[in-house]
Structures are given as structure tokens and as C-alpha cells.
């Protein structure tokens, strides 16, 4: 009996060098399905993830617009890029004549990955990965946030119209989706995001020379400035070394604040690859994530798998994922964040057994095997 299946994956949200947790999940899934002998086609921008896809995977490239690389840093212009990608991906799906024998996977529930599923003549089994909902993020204000919320509601209606099956890591997101859906959805399956154990385990144990490490995008909602202010509340002799790993539009703002607060203990690393990221994490005692909104929060899993304590702002969507493994702090309370960090400084790593547990729990092989069985159950 031939168990080969054909998958079409929509990966339309690429916007530059920084890879989202959702795109990473989709890329891992593509590799897993391809290695299992399935036929895999991926619709994505022409310059996206060239080094990440196996030669056997069929790329269906969305041509880049003129000057698109410059547009990606400007939200209003990036929107035009997304609209072009939606139109192209919709046309490709139409030409593919997606049938019931094919499985269509959208890498996110956002409009650029979901709207191409609309009004197709034939529908295969459709699966959508859903992350945190913009509508429920109270920290975003202004016109851009209103547009995002509007587009997200359109996406949710499109998912319902397609009777899509949804995959999420958060029971909170599942509840939110059920309250927003205008009609019954196919199904909502709880899964997880994973950690690249091949790289993590290749990094040897490190001497604990760093007190605090942060890893994430340098954008306002990641709370990096809150972390710097919290460090400034800690007595000078207790601060130790602090490393911020990441890049993003707020880099200059962060550099300026570091100078204003005279935080000479803070080092900023903008060019770390995955090996260096894990090396720095394993060199640290505490991982701090003062983020105001998160989807999967996989960086928490990476820190736990490296064997270090984690302290983070309490976000409902990810609290249900990580539970008591994280020390949760009231969101935006910088003084409590500083107090919590000082309370953890004496404890160091979480222990080898705990790190091994998280490495096992966050294995991509186990996660994707469960998701593959979920795909099969819907055929």
C-alpha cells in the first residue's frame, strides 16, 4: 500500500532575516514530511529560506516585487507585498486544483497565509497553525493595530469558511478562537513548538559567567527597555554580566538607554547564530523574558532545555504552556521584575534532569510525529 501523501504548505509571511517561531515550525514540518517520503510543495517568496529546504521539496516561488527588500521595513508598504503574495498564492492553489487527496497547511492564522485558501474550487484537508491573537493583545495601539485586528478577524472568518483544522500550542488561544469563530471549525489540536536539539546538544556545558541573558527581537513589545531599567534597580555589586541577544528596529533606542542608565555590565550581541545563542544561554544563570505579548514563547523552552532558570512577564496565552516551570511577574511591573531577578541569582541552573526532560518534551521528532498522525486522522 502506498502511504505517500501530497502536501502544499503556505509560507507567505517572510519579511527578512529574523525568522518567526511559526515559520520555524513550518520549516521543520516541511523537512519532516519530506524525509518521510511525502510529496511536499511550498508556496513562498522567491528569496525566502533558500538554505532551509531540501532539494526534493518543490519550491513554488512568489516573485519579489521591485524594491521589495526595502519595503519590508515599512508596515504600510509591507502590506502591499502581502497582498501581492496572497493573490499569487491564491492563483497557484487554483492552478493546482487542490483535491481531497491533498493536504494544505497554512504556516500561520494570519491573513497572508489564510486568505489564499478562500474561494478555491476544490478543497483538500486544510490545516492552519494559530498563534496568539492580535485582538487579545492589549499593548498595541494606533491605526496599525486596528488594521491588524481587522485583518485577523477576516482571517478567522476565512478559516471557518474553509472548515479548517487548527493547530495551536495554547489552550487559551483555543478558547479565544472558539469564542470568535462565526461558525463551527473543523477541529483545534493542541501541539507544541520544538527546539533544535542537534545544535543545542552539540554545545558543551559552559562555565556560568553570565548572570542574565535575554534573547528576542529588539522591538517595543519584547520589553527589553523594561529589563534594562530592572537591572538598574539591582545594586551595582550584584549585577554581574548581562547579555542581550537579538536585533531589530529598537537597537539604537536600547543602546541609548544602556548609556543613560550607565549599564556597563550589559553586552549586546546582534550577530549570534544558533550555536552561539545556545552557548550564551548555557553560560547564563537566568533567562529573562519581559515580553508584553508572545505566541508560542519557544525561547522559554530553549532556555529550560539549556538548564537555566526562567523569569518572565505573565502572559495568559503562554502561562498555560509553561506553567510552574517559569517564575511569572506582573506584566509591566519593573520593580517586581528586579526583585524577582535578584531572588533567582543565587539559584543558578535548574538541574540536569530538568534540562533533559525539556529536551525530550521539545523534540521536533516527537512533536511532528504527533501532528502527522493528526493530519492522517482527518483524511
> What local confidence, expressed as pLDDT, does residue 197 receive?
93
* Least confidently predicted of 90-99, 140-149, 172-181, 203-212: 140-149
- Range name among 111-120, 145-154, 213-222 with the lowest pLDDT average: 145-154
Of the candidate ranges 27-31, 94-98, 115-119, the one whose mean pLDDT is the lowest: 94-98
- Express each pLDDT in 42-57 by its tens digit: 999 999 999 899 999 9
The predicted model gives 20-26 an average pLDDT of 87
Rounded to the nearest 10 degrees, the angle between the axes of helix 298-305 and helix 274-282 is: 60
* Domains parsed from the chain with CATH numbers: 6-194+363-377 (3.40.50.2000), 197-361 (3.40.50.2000)
The three cell numbers of residue 299 are 525561547
Phi and psi angles of residue 284, each rounded to the nearest 5 degrees, phi first: -105, 160
Q: How far is it, in rounded angstroms, from Cα 78 to Cα 94?
A: 24
pLDDT tens by residue, 144-168: 778 888 888 899 989 988 889 999 9
Q: What pLDDT does residue 179 have?
A: 83
pLDDT band at 210; cut points 50, 70, 90: very high
Q: What's the predicted TM-score (pTM) here?
A: 0.87
Return the biggest CA–CA distance within the chain: 68
Q: Residues 55-100: pLDDT tens digits?
A: 999 999 999 998 888 777 777 788 899 999 999 999 999 888 766 6
Q: CA–CA separation, 335 vs 341, rounded Å?
A: 10
Q: Please tell me what DSSP assigns to residue 223.
A: T
Half-sphere exposure of 193 (CA within 13 A, CB side): 27
Q: State the pLDDT at residue 77.
A: 84
In this model, does residue 229 exceed pLDDT 80?
A: yes
Output the nine-digit C-alpha cell for 206: 559552559
* pLDDT tens-digit series, residues 120-139: 876 678 999 998 776 655 55
Average pLDDT on 365-369 reads 95
Write down the pLDDT at residue 131.
81
* 331 neighbors 352 (Cβ within 8 angstroms): no
User: Average pLDDT for residues 340-364, to the nearest whole number?
Assistant: 82
pLDDT of residue 1: 42
pLDDT band of residue 140 (cuts 50, 70, 90) is: low
For residue 326, is pLDDT > 70? yes
What is d(CA 188, CA 205) in angstroms, rounded to the nearest whole number? Answer: 39
Contacts of 268 (CB under 8 A, 6+ apart): 243, 244, 251, 254, 255, 258
In the structure grid, which three cell numbers stand for residue 147, read together?
Answer: 488594521
Rounded distance, CA 173 to CA 160, Å?
15
Buried b (16+ CB within 10 A) or exposed e, 360-377: eebbbeebbeebbebbee
Amino acid at each position: 500500500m502506498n502511504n505517500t501523501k501530497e502536501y502544499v504548505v503556505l509560507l507567505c509571511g517572510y519579511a527578512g532575516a529574523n525568522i518567526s517561531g511559526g515559520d520555524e515550525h513550518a520549516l521543520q514540518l516541511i523537512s519532516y514530511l519530506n524525509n518521510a517520503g511525502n510529496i511536499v510543495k511550498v508556496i513562498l517568496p522567491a528569496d525566502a529560506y533558500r538554505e532551509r529546504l531540501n532539494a526534493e521539496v518543490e519550491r513554488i516561488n512568489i516573485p519579489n516585487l521591485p524594491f521589495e527588500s526595502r519595503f519590508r521595513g515599512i508596515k504600510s508598504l509591507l502590506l502591499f507585498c502581502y497582498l501581492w503574495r496572497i493573490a499569487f498564492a491564491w492563483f497557484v492553489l487554483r492552478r493546482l486544483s487542490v483535491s481531497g487527496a491533498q493536504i494544505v497547511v497554512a504556516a500561520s492564522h494570519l491573513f497572508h497565509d489564510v486568505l489564499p485558501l478562500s474561494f478555491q474550487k476544490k478543497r483538500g484537508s486544510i490545516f492552519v497553525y494559530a498563534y496568539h491573537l492580535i485582538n487579545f493583545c492589549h499593548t498595541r495601539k494606533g491605526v496599525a493595530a486596528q488594521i491588524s485586528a481587522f485583518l485577523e478577524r477576516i482571517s478567522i472568518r476565512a478559516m471557518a469558511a474553509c472548515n479548517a483544522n487548527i493547530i495551536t500550542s495554547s489552550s487559551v488561544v483555543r478558547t479565544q478562537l472558539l469564542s470568535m469563530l462565526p461558525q463551527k471549525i473543523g477541529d483545534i489540536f493542541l501541539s507544541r513548538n520544538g527546539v533544535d536539539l542537534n545544535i543545542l546538544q552539540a554545545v558543551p556545558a559552559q562555565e556560568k559567567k553570565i548572570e542574565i541573558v535575554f534573547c528576542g527581537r529588539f522591538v517595543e513589545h519584547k520589553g527589553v527597555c523594561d529589563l534594562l531599567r530592572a537591572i538598574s534597580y539591582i545594586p551595582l555589586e550584584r549585577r554581574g554580566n548581562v547579555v542581550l541577544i537579538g536585533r531589530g528596529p529598537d537597537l539604537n533606542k536600547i543602546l541609548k538607554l544602556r548609556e543613560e542608565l550607565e549599564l556597563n555590565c550589559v553586552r549586546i550581541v546582534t550577530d549570534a547564530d544558533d550555536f552561539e545563542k545556545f552557548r550564551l544561554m548555557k553560560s547564563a544563570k537566568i533567562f529573562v523574558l519581559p515580553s508584553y505579548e508572545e505566541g508560542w514563547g519557544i525561547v522559554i523552552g530553549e532556555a529550560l532545555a539549556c538548564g537555566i532558570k526562567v523569569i518572565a512577564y505573565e502572559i495568559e496565552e503562554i502561562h498555560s504552556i509553561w506553567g510552574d516551570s517559569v517564575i511569572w511577574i506582573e506584566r509591566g511591573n519593573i520593580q517586581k521584575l528586579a526583585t524577582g531577578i535578584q531572588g533567582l541569582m543565587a539559584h543558578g541552573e535548574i538541574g540536569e534532569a530538568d534540562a533533559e526532560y525539556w529536551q525530550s518534551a521539545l523534540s521536533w521528532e516527537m512533536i511532528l510525529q504527533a501532528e502527522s498522525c493528526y493530519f492522517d486522522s482527518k483524511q
